[in-house]
């Protein structure tokens, strides 16, 4: 499989780094990645889609991976910048070349409603998207996440000026603005839809009319089905198709929050995702 690095600008001009997996078609999947997860994590999915004749672009959001150009201490940004500026730039890039579809992971499902022009996207299939509130999570994950937000996080961010997620084994370090907003919204049962100060974000969701499939696994501790349902109440302009899966259904040991894009799960799940896109008009080649 071939790919190449793309250096391009976010909507506000910030320099981004993406990877393009080219195919001989006008079908483009924009991979809307999760918080603190660099674009390389999605390589195997991108190569699978590429093998089916679909172009894919994966992007490092600002402050993450190769789009981190300076130390995070003192780096100013809002969490919403990843959606409205960074992901939006990749969507625009793809829309200038063909028909755009989104595959989202966690934050990627939050981001669709924040795009400046969601009408550029034909349909989206997202995995592991939830409201983030610890109350939706099973024990003992509920206690661990509460401790992260209310004890550990405030202490280390005051000391370092950023959230050292890498030290906790949870992806890459987070800019302070991302940590600040994420912490605030994860304290609310319906995420930013419960934040009266986030109306500039939430009022945009009514503009989303594209078909969305929202897939969660029963062993996803961070985004179980009830958390998914709580969040997608906010997509009032479209009908969201809830897809529940389990490791047993796919014949795998576990899925969790990250497994949707790991190879052992993907060999079973990714063809189903592309079949769903085909039902919405995507033209993919046979396996």
Q: Does a structural domain hold residue 170?
A: no
Q: Does a structural domain hold residue 229?
A: yes
Distance CA 119, CA 116 (A): 9
Q: Does a structural domain hold residue 178?
A: no
Q: Does a structural domain hold residue 80?
A: yes
Q: Does a structural domain hold residue 238?
A: yes
Can you give the three-state secondary structure of the chain, one letter per residue? CCCEEEEEECCCCCEEEEEEECCCCCEEEEEECCCCCCHHHHHHHHHHHHHCCCEEEEEECCCCHHHCCCCCCCCCCCCCHHHHHHHHHHHHHHHCCCEEEEEEECHHHHHHHHCCCHHHEEEEEEECCCCCCHHHCCCCHHHHHHHHHHHHHHHHHHHHCEECHHHHCCCCCEEHHHHHHHHHHHCCCCHHHHCHHHHHHHHHHHHCCCCEEEEEECCCCCCCHHHHHHHHCCCCCCCEEEEEECHHHHCCCCCCCCHHHCHHHHHHHHHHHHHHHHHCCCCCCCC
CATH value at residue 244: 3.40.50.1820
Whole-angstrom CA distances from 251 to 32, 243, 268, 275 are: 26, 17, 8, 19
Q: Does a structural domain hold residue 175?
A: no
Q: Does a structural domain hold residue 160?
A: no
Q: What is the pLDDT along the chain (287 residues), one digit of tens a residue?
A: 799 999 999 999 999 999 999 999 999 999 999 999 999 999 999 999 999 999 999 999 999 999 999 999 999 999 999 999 999 999 999 999 999 999 999 999 999 999 999 999 999 999 999 999 999 999 999 999 999 999 999 999 999 999 999 998 889 999 999 999 999 999 999 999 999 999 999 999 999 999 999 999 999 999 999 999 999 999 999 999 999 999 999 999 999 999 999 999 999 999 999 999 999 999 999 88
| Domain of residue 261, residue span | 4-132+198-279
How much is the pTM? 0.97
Q: What is the pLDDT of residue 56?
A: 98
Q: What is the pLDDT of residue 286?
A: 85
Q: Does a structural domain hold residue 27?
A: yes
Q: What is the pLDDT of residue 287?
A: 80
Total number of domains constituting the chain: 1
């Amino acid at each position: 499989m071939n790919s190449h690095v793309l250096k391009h600008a976010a909507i506000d001009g910030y320099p981004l780094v993406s990877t393009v997996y080219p195919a001989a078609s006008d079908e483009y999947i924009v991979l809307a990645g999760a918080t603190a997860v660099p674009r390389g994590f999605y390589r195997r999915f991108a190569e699978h889609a590429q093998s089916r004749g679909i172009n894919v672009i994966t992007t490092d959001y600002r402050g993450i991976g190769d789009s981190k150009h300076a130390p995070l201490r003192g780096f100013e940004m809002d969490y919403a910048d990843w959606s409205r500026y960074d992901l939006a730039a990749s969507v625009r890039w793809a829309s200038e070349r063909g028909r755009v579809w989104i595959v989202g992971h966690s934050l990627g499902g939050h981001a669709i409603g924040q795009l400046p022009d969601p009408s550029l996207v034909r349909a989206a299939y997202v995995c592991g998207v939830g409201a983030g509130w610890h109350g939706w999570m099973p024990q003992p994950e509920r206690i661990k996440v509460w401790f992260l937000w209310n004890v550990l996080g405030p202490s280390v961010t005051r000391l370092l000026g950023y959230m050292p997620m890498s030290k906790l084994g949870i992806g890459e370090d987070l800019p302070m603005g991302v940590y600040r907003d994420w912490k605030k919204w994860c304290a609310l049962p319906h995420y930013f839809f419960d934040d009266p100060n986030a109306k500039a974000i939430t009022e945009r969701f009514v503009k989303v009319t594209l078909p969305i499939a929202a897939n969660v696994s029963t062993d996803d501790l961070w985004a179980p089905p009830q958390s998914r349902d709580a969040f997608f109440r906010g997509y009032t302009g479209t009908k969201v198709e809830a897809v529940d899966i389990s490791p047993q259904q796919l014949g795998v040991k576990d899925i969790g929050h990250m497994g949707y894009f790991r190879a052992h799960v993907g060999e079973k799940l990714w063809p189903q995702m592309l079949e769903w896109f085909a039902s919405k008009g995507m033209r993919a080649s046979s396996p």
